[in-house]
Amino acid sequence: MNRRRFLAYFGIGAAGSLAGGALAHSRRPNDVPRPRQAREASIGEVTTPTSTGMQRIIWSVDTEEPVAAVTFDDGPDPAFTPRILDLLDRFGVTATFMVMGYNAVQHPDLLRDIAEAGHEIGGHGWKHLNLAEISPEETREEIEHGNRIIEERTGVPIRVFRPPYGRFDEDTVRLLARSRRDLVVWSVTRGMLSWREPEQISSHVLSALGPGDIVDLHDGIGRATFNPRSESARRIRRRREDELSALPRILEGAKARGLRLKSVSDLMAAWQGPSTR
């Protein structure tokens, strides 16, 4: 299968320190020529600081090894997280849970259960806001507060962050670069949101799944957490139940094919260098 390869390296910045870059932009007189690098880096950065360093945006990982990652977003949630932990334990799979900060505060026992079972914990924002649609200040709060809340409770640094809805902008990338966290998206989903049959969902996931892929599943309801009696919350809960019903078949199918499911960070350890497509 000539699968597209998605691992991207983004070099961000190179225009000096954070505060220095912002200051230079706001105070420099118009008639003073600016270094080429600084001028290029200032595009779109009027309100946001420049960062430095490398940032990885990962949809999947280039590898020939029979490994892939499975991830669960939006939890923890008592309706889903315990059952998912049981299934992962039964199949001997270590996954990555992209935890929503607010839910970690509501369910510290579940957060502890995830960590104690040896799964990786990544960030998924504080209140599950769309980072592409909010101000740089709100983005900072959403990422940093969410991550800090989780790290304080687990004592383990967060290395991977998944933006809610998979949406992000340059502020997101820059903030994550500053904190040396990888931005992790996904390459395989549960398929059409209207699909109700577990068989349909598991067949789709297994047909799309290959070495290096990152599967995006859920153990919570994201933004609907704040409106639990709404029709949309009920709809998303039903959708999550369907997804969970498909999970045993997905884990079984991957195993039968010899594909080992891991956490994102463990999958990244199997990366075999930049893709040549």
Which of 124, 128, 204, 218 is the catalytic position? 218
Q: How far is the CB of 218 from Zn ion (least distance, A)?
A: 7
Query: Residues in the site for Zn ion, rule: CB under 5 A?
Result: 73-74, 164, 222
Q: Report the residue number, 45 or 73, with the smaller CB distance to Zn ion.
A: 73
Indicate if 73 belongs to the active site.
yes
Supply the angle between the helices 231-256 and 81-91 in degrees, to the nearest 10: 0
Indicate if 218 belongs to the active site.
yes
Q: How far is the CB of 66 from Zn ion (least distance, A)?
A: 28
Which of 73, 77, 171, 216 is the catalytic position? 73
What gap in Å lies between CA 240 and CA 246, rounded to an integer?
10
Q: Report the residue number, 115 or 131, with the smaller CB distance to Zn ion.
A: 131
b/e map of 136-158 (b: 16 or more CB within 10 Å)? beebbbbbbebbebbeebbeeeb
Q: Report the residue number, 67 or 264, with the smaller CB distance to Zn ion.
A: 264
Is 216 in a helix, a strand, or coil? strand
What gap in Å lies between CA 267 and CA 260, rounded to an integer?
10
Please, how many CA atoms are within 13 Å of residue 252, restricted to the half-sphere of its CB?
Answer: 8
Q: How far is the CB of 35 from Zn ion (least distance, A)?
A: 40
Is 120 in a helix, a strand, or coil? strand
Question: Do residues 175 and 143 touch, judged by C-beta distance below 8 A?
Answer: yes
Strand partners, 128: none
Q: How far is the CB of 277 from Zn ion (least distance, A)?
A: 30
Q: Enumerate the active-site residues.
A: 73, 218
